Amino acid sequence: MHEAIRYISDKLKNYAHFLLVKLEEAAKQNLQLLKEVNPPLVENLLRNLPAEQFERLVKESLDLFLTHIMDDTWRDGIKETLRQWEANELPTVTRDEISIDDILLIYSVRKTLFYSRLPEYTQDANLITDIVKEIDFIISEVQRQAFSLYVQISGKQLEKKNKELKESHEEVAAMNEELRQSEEELVATNEALVEAEERLLDINKDLELKVLERTQNLKTINDLNSSITQKFNIHDIVQEVTDVATKLAKAEFGAFFYNTINEQGELLTLYTISGVAIENFSKFPHPRKTQIFAPTFEGTAIVRSDDITLDPRYGQNPPHKGMPQGHLPVKSYMAIPVKSINGEVLGGLFFGHSKPGIFTEESEKLVLSVSTHAGISIQNSKLFSQLKASEQKFQFTLDAMPQMVWTANAQGEFDYINKHWVDYTGLSMKEIRKGWPSVNHPDDIASTTEIWRKAFAVGTSFEIETRIQNAHTKEFRWHLVRALPMKNDRGEITKWLATLTDIHEFKISQERLKMLATVLENMNEGVSVSDETGVIFYTNPTEERMFGYERGELIGKHVSIQNAYPPKENEAIVNQVLTVLKTNGFWSGEWHNIRKDGTTFYTYSFISTLKLKDKSLLVCVQRDITEEKLNKAALEYQSTLNKTITDNATSALFMMNAKGYCTFFNPAAEKMFGYSFEEISIKPLHYLIHHHRPDGSFYPMEECPLDRALPENFDVRAHEDVFIKKDGTFFSVVCAASPIFENGIPVATVIEVRDVSEEKEAKVRIYESNEQLKLKNKELQKINNDLDNFVYTASHDLKAPIANLEGLLNALKKQLDGQPLSEKLNAILSLMEKSILRFKETIKGLTEISKTQKNVNEDVEEIIIDKLMEEISLEISPMIEASAASISVSTDGCQKIVFSKYNLRSIFYNLITNAIKYRNPEVGLEILINTYCRQNLTIIEVRDNGLGIKQENTSRIFEMFKRLHHHVDGSGIGLYIVKRIVENAGGSIEVESELGKGTLFRVLMPEN
Q: Which of 728, 752, 776 is the last residue of a domain?
A: 752
Claim to verify: residue 655 and residue 614 sit in the same structural domain: no
Same domain for 383 and 408, yes or no, is no
Stated as kind and residue range, the H or E segment containing 539 is strand 536-539
602/719 same-domain check? no
**Residue 262 counted as domain residue:** yes
Phi, psi of 507 (to 5 degrees): -65, -45
Asked if residue 178 is part of any domain, the answer here is no
- The answer to whether 282 touches 307, Cβ cutoff 8 Å, is no
Rounded Cα gap, residues 511 and 443, in angstroms = 19
CATH number at residue 88: 1.10.490
Using the predicted structure, report yes or no on whether residue 775 has a pLDDT greater than 90. Answer: no
> Does the pLDDT at position 758 exceed 50?
yes
Query: 377 and 259: one domain?
Result: yes
Residue-range definition of the domain harbouring residue 973? 857-1006
Q: If pLDDT is split at 50, 70 and 90, which confidence band does 965 have? A: low
Tell me, what's the pLDDT at 237? Answer: 86
Residues 874 and 987 grouped into a single domain: yes
> Residue 429's closest CA among 439, 440, 419, 444?
419
- 549 and 598 Cβ atoms separated by less than 8 Å: no
Number of domains in the chain: 6
Question: For residue 807, what are the CA distances in angstroms to 600, 722, 810, 832?
Answer: 61, 83, 5, 12
407 in a structural domain: yes
Of 752, 781, 799, the residue at which a domain comes to its end is 752
Do 381 and 413 lie in one domain? The reply is no
What is the pLDDT at residue 1? 38
Edge-to-edge strands, sheet with 745-755: 662-665, 652-657, 745-755, 730-742, 716-724
Q: How confident is the model at residue 194 (pLDDT cuts 50, 70, 90)?
A: low
Reduce the DSSP state of residue 294 to 3 states and report it: helix
Nearest to 893 by CA among 683, 605, 594: 594
Cα angle 136-138-140, degrees, rounded to a multiple of 5: 65
pLDDT computed for residue 3 by the predictor: 47
Q: Are residues 878 and 994 in the same domain?
A: yes
One DSSP character per residue, 904-955 reads: HHHHHHHHHHHHHHT--TTS--EEEEEEEEETTEEEEEEEE-SS---GGGGG
> In this predicted structure, what is the pLDDT of residue 157?
67
- In this structure, the answer to whether residues 107 and 156 fall within a common structural domain is yes
Model confidence band, residue 355 (pLDDT cutoffs 50, 70, 90):
very high
Give Dmax (Cα) for the chain: 193
Between the CA of residue 462 and those of 107, 144, 482, 494, what are the distances in Å? 21, 12, 6, 17
Query: Percent of the chain at pLDDT above 70?
Result: 84
Which residue in 695, 694, 717 sits closest to 705, CA to CA? 717
Q: Mean pLDDT throughout 597-621?
A: 88
Residue 413, domain CATH: 3.30.450.20
Q: Tell me how far the alpha carbon of residue 486 is from its chain's centroid.
A: 42
pLDDT band at 570 (very low <50, low <70, confident <90, very high): confident
Say whether both 361 and 409 belong to one domain: no
- Residue 651 host element (H or E): none
Task: Give the residue from 387, 414, 440 where a domain finishes.
Answer: 387
Per the model's pLDDT, the better-predicted residue between 140 and 486 turns out to be: 486
Q: Is the pLDDT of residue 249 over 90?
A: no
Cβ atoms of residues 946 and 925 within 8 Å: yes
- What is the bridge-based pairing of β-strands 404-409 and 414-417? antiparallel
In terms of domains, do 908 and 984 share one?
Answer: yes
Flag whether pLDDT at 193 surpasses 80: no
> Does the pLDDT of residue 33 top 60, yes or no?
yes
Q: Which of 911, 906, 914, 781 is nearest to 848 (CA)?
A: 906
Least confident among 175-179, 224-228, 330-334, 960-964: 960-964
